[in-house]
Amino acid sequence: MSTLTITTRDAATGPVIEITGDLDYDTAPELRRAVNSLTVAGGHLLLLDLAGLRFCDSSGISALLSARSLAIEQGGHIALAAVPANTARILGIVGLDQVFTIHADAATATAPSSAAR
């Protein structure tokens, strides 16, 4: 069975979701629920911190896109931080590295100058 841990915290730039484990068909609904419970204020950043992500399949990618849609619908922005190499490769192949702002780590992404990206 896949394991996923989702931790949500607030930063000055907006909500941060730390994703640890496997983001796949079995666990993607957990991320969708976590994101749907958030409010991304206009102009704020929803950051998905992927530092602990071990695996991401197409269902996980779909959940990331759903998070992006929610952030945009609420007038906010979205970014990914600490994207593992295997996931970054997939994002690049399908062109999503051009859709998501990607930061090296969560600290960089939540720095006040990064909020408007």
Q: What is the mean pLDDT of the chain?
A: 94
Matching residue, tokens 């970014």: 79
Phi, psi of 69 (to 5 degrees): -60, -45
**Which token pair is 109?**
């992404």
Per-residue confidence of the chain (117 residues) as pLDDT tens digits?
679 999 999 999 999 999 999 999 999 999 999 999 999 999 999 999 999 999 999 999 999 999 999 999 999 999 999 999 999 999 999 999 999 999 999 999 998 765 444
Query: How far apart, in whole angstroms, are the C-alpha atoms of residue 40 and residue 25?
Result: 25
The pTM (predicted TM-score) of the whole model is 0.92
Please check whether residue 78 is in contact with residue 48, taking contact to mean a CB–CB distance below 8 angstroms. yes
- 77 forms beta bridges with 45
